[in-house]
Structure 1
């Protein structure tokens, strides 16, 4: 792969995030998918409650893992919100649509 400019890298990363968010929102549309995403959002990999002592000066891996956990939480939260908004839109359309007379 050729060396990409920062703008190209940012554009590609944004496209990946957009696609991932759309797929995750689709998954959140089902009961099992929503439960899975709620668990994923809740179960962070970051060390907490002194499970592991990083020492006086924690190394970069702790910061990197926190950034990754924050991004996963951000994507999952956004997807759950998007799925909820889609659900509300569909309900509003159903209520607003005139019933066909038989």
Structure 2
């Protein structure tokens, strides 16, 4: 089965576009959920605690293997998502004053 048969995505730009759409949707859902709960900042802090970032200070060798690189990219993306959500929550809190 060709990679495009499963996802329907053929080009790197389409894949990047899909990832961006998912990222935006996740940010929106978490932000709205926090607003509905009435404690958006607490929700973001709870997610940050549950994610449990790793600092990766262990030596991955001169060249990290693919698994390490994927894990690091995943952690970086989680940080970006949470930063964007926190910024949206902070903006909403500030604009409501």
Q: 1:38 to 1:56 in 2, by over 3 A?
A: closer
- Structure 2 unaligned runs (5+)? 1-5
Structure with greater helix share of residues: 2
Residue correspondences, number: 87
Query: What is the match of residue 66 of structure 2?
Result: 60
Q: Give distance in 1, aligned partners of 2:9 and 2:44.
A: 38
Indicate yes or no: 2:29 matched with 1:19: no
Indicate yes or no: 2:41 matched with 1:35: no
- Partner-residue secondary structure (3-state), 2:92: helix
RMSD across aligned C-alpha pairs, in angstroms? 2.4
- Partner-residue secondary structure (3-state), 2:56: coil
**Aligned-pair CA distance for 1:5:** 2.1
* TM-score normalised according to structure 1 size: 0.67
Does the 8 A contact of 2:9 with 2:15 survive in 1? no
- Structure 1 unaligned runs (5+)? 92-102
* TM-score normalised according to structure 2 size: 0.69
Q: Give distance in 1, aligned partners of 2:12 and 2:61.
A: 34
Structure number with greater Rg is 1
Structure with the larger RCO, 1 or 2 (CA within 8 Å, 6+ apart): 1
